[in-house]
């Protein structure tokens, strides 16, 4: 599913980037080489990043 239509960023790309980039949504977009444009997706992107990072922590703690 596309999270950012302006930059054609998919949820799967965000989840992968969450594990390699520790910054906020702006930083992750920049790391992907596609800085935010209209910024309407950043709240949803932030939730996805937090979810993926939490999931990763849970897996490494088991």
* Tens digits of residue pLDDT in 10-34: 999 999 999 999 999 999 999 999 9
Domains in the chain: how many in total?
1
Instruction: Give me the mean pLDDT over the 57-62 stretch.
Output: 73
Average pLDDT, the chain: 94
Rounded mean pLDDT, 38-54? 97
Q: pLDDT-derived band of residue 62, with 50, 70 and 90 as boundaries?
A: low
DSSP state of 4: E
* CATH number reported for the structural domain that contains residue 56 in this entry: 1.10.10
Q: What is the pTM of this model?
A: 0.89
**How many angstroms from the chain centroid is the CA of residue 51?**
9
List the domain range (segments joined by +) for residue 7: 2-61
Would you give the distance in Å from CA 39 to the centre of its chain? 13
- DSSP per residue, 44-62: HHHHHHHHHHHHHHHHHH-
Partners of residue 9 on adjacent β-strands? 4
pLDDT tier for residue 58 given thresholds of 50, 70 and 90: confident
């Amino acid at each position: 599913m596309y999270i950012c239509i302006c930059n054609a960023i998919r949820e799967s790309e965000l989840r992968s980037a969450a594990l390699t980039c520790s910054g906020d949504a702006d930083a992750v977009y920049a790391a992907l080489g596609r800085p935010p444009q209209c910024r309407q997706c950043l709240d949803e992107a932030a939730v996805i990043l937090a979810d993926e990072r939490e999931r990763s922590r849970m897996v490494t703690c088991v």
